[in-house]
Structure 1
C-alpha cells in the first residue's frame, strides 16, 4: 500500500473519495475540514493522527460484511495501541475510549472501493481525550497498516471483540443502556428485540 503524507490537508477521507485510488493511504497531522460520522465535522488539533486508506472490496477478508468494516478496522487499531501499553477500550460501534472519546472511524463504499477514515487523538484534545501513551504517529500508522495487510479474518477479530464487548459495556451518549444487549456475528447488536447497526 502506498503511503502519502500531507503536513496539512482539508480531509484525508475527502481526498480519497475525490480521487478514488485503490491501495493508498493518505495521512496528516492536521485537517482543516475533517469528516466524522453522519457527515459531521471531525475537529482535531494539530499533531494528532488523521488518515484514510482505500481497498477494493474484493480484497477484504472474505467473511467481513460491509456493515462491519468500521468495527473491524477500529478494533485492529485498538489491538495495536494495547500492544504498546495503552488502556484504550473499544466502544461499539466504531470508537476508542479512555473515559472520553479518543478516536473514531468512518467508512464509505464508492465504485467497489472501500475508503476507511480514522482520527486518533495521540497528542491532545480540548473536548475529548488523548492517548495515554507516548508514541509516534508514524509508528501507529505503519503497525496498523501491517495488520491491515495481513487480512485477518473477521472470525478471528470477532472472537476478541465479543469478549471485550461483554466485559466493557458502555452507557451511550443517547442514554441507551447496553447492559442487556447481545452482539451478533455481523457486528450488529440486539436490544429489546431490535437489531441495531449504529447508534447514530
Structure 2
C-alpha cells in the first residue's frame, strides 16, 4: 500500500476524505503526518499533537474486506488489528469498545471510520510519546512510520471478522468498568452484552459503533 508522508497536516482524515471526494487519490493508500494541528476525533472532538505521536488515515476498497465483516464492526476490526500490532512491538494496551486504545485505565488513542462511496477510511491517533488531548501516552520509542508499516502488513492479511471477534470477545471484559457515549448520554458497560456483529445490547437496546 502506498504511504503518503507529510511533515505536518491539519488532519490526515480530512485530507484523505477530501482527496477521495475529488477523485485525486487512488486506493489503497495511507496518509501519515508527523504533526497534526486540527485532527478529527470522536464526537467532533479534535485530536491534536506534535512529533513523536501517531497520526494516520488509511483508505481501502470495501470489496477487499472480509466477507463476514459488517461495516458497523469496522471500528473494532481496524482498531483490534492495531492493538495486536502494538502488542507485537512490546506495548501492553487493550481496546475499549468500540475504538479507544487504553493502557491500563488510561486512554492513549482512538480510531474513527467513515464510508466514502465504496471506500472505507480509517483514521487512527495514538499518543506514542507525548501526553496530549487530555490523555496519557505510551512513552514508547516506536517510530510512527515504522508502526504504520507494521500495521499495514498486518491489515493486508485481512483476517476474518470471526477470528478478530473471538479474540476481542475475551478482551471486552476489560471494558465493563467504563462507560460509553450513546446519543449524548453516558451508558455503563457493566451489564452490556457483546453481540457477534460487534454491537452491544444495553438496556435491551441494540447499539452499534457509529464512529
Quote how far apart the aligned CAs of 1:168 are.
4.7
> Structure 1 residues 129, 38: closer, same or farther in 2, change over 3 A?
same
1:180 alignment partner in structure 2 = 191
Q: Does 1:24 align with 2:36?
A: no
Superposed, 1:116-135 pairs within 5 Å as 116-126=122-132, 127-135=134-142
Q: Does 1:74 align with 2:79?
A: yes
Structure 2: tracts of 5 or more residues without a match: 21-25
CA–CA distance in 1 between the matches of 2:138 and 2:37? 21
Is the partner of 2:176 in helix, strand or coil?
A: coil
Is the partner of 2:187 in helix, strand or coil?
A: coil
Q: Does 1:101 align with 2:107?
A: yes
Q: Does 1:112 align with 2:123?
A: no
- Residues 87 and 132 in structure 1, CA contact (< 8 A), matched pair in contact too: no
Q: Does 1:83 align with 2:94?
A: no
- Residues 102 and 121 in structure 1, CA contact (< 8 A), matched pair in contact too: yes
Quote how far apart the aligned CAs of 1:133 are.
3.6
Deviation per CA, 1:1-36, whole angstroms, max 9, x where unpaired? 100110001111111111113101000121111011
Query: Which segments of structure 1 move beyond 6 Å, counting only runs of 4 or more?
Result: none
CA–CA distance in 2 between the matches of 1:42 and 1:18? 18
Structure 1: tracts of 5 or more residues without a match: none
- Residues 98 and 209 in structure 2, CA contact (< 8 A), matched pair in contact too: yes
> Structure 1 residues 162, 129: closer, same or farther in 2, change over 3 A?
same
Q: Please say which of residues 7-16 and 132-141 is displaced more in the overlay.
A: 132-141
CA–CA distance in 2 between the matches of 1:83 and 1:185? 26
Superposed, 1:130-145 pairs within 5 Å as 130-145=137-152
> Structure 1 residues 9, 173: closer, same or farther in 2, change over 3 A?
same
Aligned alpha-carbon RMSD (Å): 1.7
- Residues 72 and 154 in structure 1, CA contact (< 8 A), matched pair in contact too: yes
Quote how far apart the aligned CAs of 1:121 are.
0.5
Quote how far apart the aligned CAs of 1:134 are.
2.6
Normalized against structure 1, the TM-score is what? 0.93
Superposed, 1:139-178 pairs within 5 Å as 139-172=146-179, 176-178=187-189
CA–CA distance in 2 between the matches of 1:72 and 1:57? 13
Deviation per CA, 1:53-93, whole angstroms, max 9, x where unpaired? 11111111111111111111111111111122222111001
Report how many residues are paired.
200
- Residues 91 and 170 in structure 1, CA contact (< 8 A), matched pair in contact too: no
